[in-house]
Amino acid sequence: MVQTFGGPEALAIVDLPDPRPGAGEVLITTEAIGVGGLDALIRSGALADYGSTAGRILGSEVAGTVAAVGDDVDAAWIGQRVWGFTGVHGGYAEHAIATAATLVPVPAGLSSVDAVTLGSSAMVAHFALRHAHFAPGESVLVRGAAGGIGVMAVQLAARDGASAVAVTTSSAERGDRLRALGATHVLDRLGHDDGDAPASYDVIIDIVAGADLPSFFSKLAPNGRMVAVGVMAGIPPADFATPMIAAFQKSMSFATFSADTISLPDRAAATTALFAAADHGDLKAVVHEVLSLDQAVLAHQKIEAGEVFGRIALTPKKG
């Protein structure tokens, strides 16, 4: 539970009664819980207007077995192993409520940890590339590629026929790991490279934002599209679009993307297809580490320290 907004130490373990599913909801006995940058931002208070208040339980996605269903939900879900979306809050728990419309059966070949590692990250990356109107043969730059959404955007762009997939990341070691996932060029965090990367890109997927976002407009090709899917480095400056306006003749565009604009059935359908691709070996769940639920503070410390490559998952078992 988030006691007060602040650092990782703001999280506390509490005992609460098991929740009861309402209409259109299910109760999931969790086997794995996804941990991501959004959780850290909510915990810090940076997204207090995102429906978060002190005293709330973090966690937006879980995988496990359906234990009970609410009204208007097919009882056939009971006993099935599923991935589910909790609605931003409530996932860091042994039992969590999820919206039935978000449920996706987890294939036998995927673990519950794999499911929460792929889950929302793969879905967001999929729709972000669609939002950018990415087409096979185009070049893609993923800014902030070592996180959960980033590693999925790299894999999906490579799988779907990008002519080049460049990444920004913090170290050569991470660059090597991203190359193994499909990256063709590695840039540093400011977009500098050793000279062999393309000068410009058709699509930029930006998970970072922050003060340096404006400098990346210079890396957009004519008719290039930049889509921001995160603000891990903070909100860009108020005049961030000035470089784009200054290059008016290049017909560049900038957009934001949130999965909140995608219907629940469309999200579930995309996640089902992405799970199937992972089950067939076409995508990889990149698990940084599996920690126990009572180590949630440690998980957030690792996120804030920039240590995480891929995603951390929590399990209900005590460490």
- The pLDDT of residue 6 is above 90: no
Tokens representing residue 28 in the block:
């999931």
What is the mean predicted confidence (pLDDT) over 84-97? 90
* pLDDT-wise least confident of 49-53, 106-110, 192-196, 202-206: 49-53
Tell me if 78 sits within 8 A of 66, measured CB to CB. Answer: yes
Q: What is the pTM of this model?
A: 0.93
Looking at residue 139, its amino acid is S
- Euclidean distance between CA atoms 38 and 122, whole angstroms: 15
- The pLDDT of residue 204 is above 70: yes
Q: Calculate the dihedral angle through the C-alpha atoms of 285, 287, 291, 293, rounding to the nearest 10 degrees.
A: -40
Percent of the chain with pLDDT over 90: 81
Query: Are both 8-110+285-315 and 127-259 of the same fold?
Result: no
- The pLDDT of residue 319 is above 60: no
Give the pLDDT score at 318.
60
pLDDT tens-place string over residues 226-246: 999 998 888 999 999 999 999
Residue keyed to tokens 């058709």: 202
- CATH superfamily ID and name for 8-110+285-315: Medium-chain alcohol dehydrogenases, catalytic domain (3.90.180.10)
Q: Where are the domains of the chain?
A: 8-110+285-315, 127-259
Predicted confidence band of residue 5 (pLDDT cuts 50, 70, 90): confident
- The pLDDT of residue 54 is above 70: no
Give the pLDDT score at 51.
52
- Euclidean distance between CA atoms 40 and 42, whole angstroms: 5
Is 127-259 in CATH node 3.40.50.970?
A: no
Give the pLDDT score at 101.
95
pLDDT tens-place string over residues 126-146: 999 999 999 999 999 999 999
Question: CA nearest 213: which of 126, 129, 144, 134?
Answer: 144
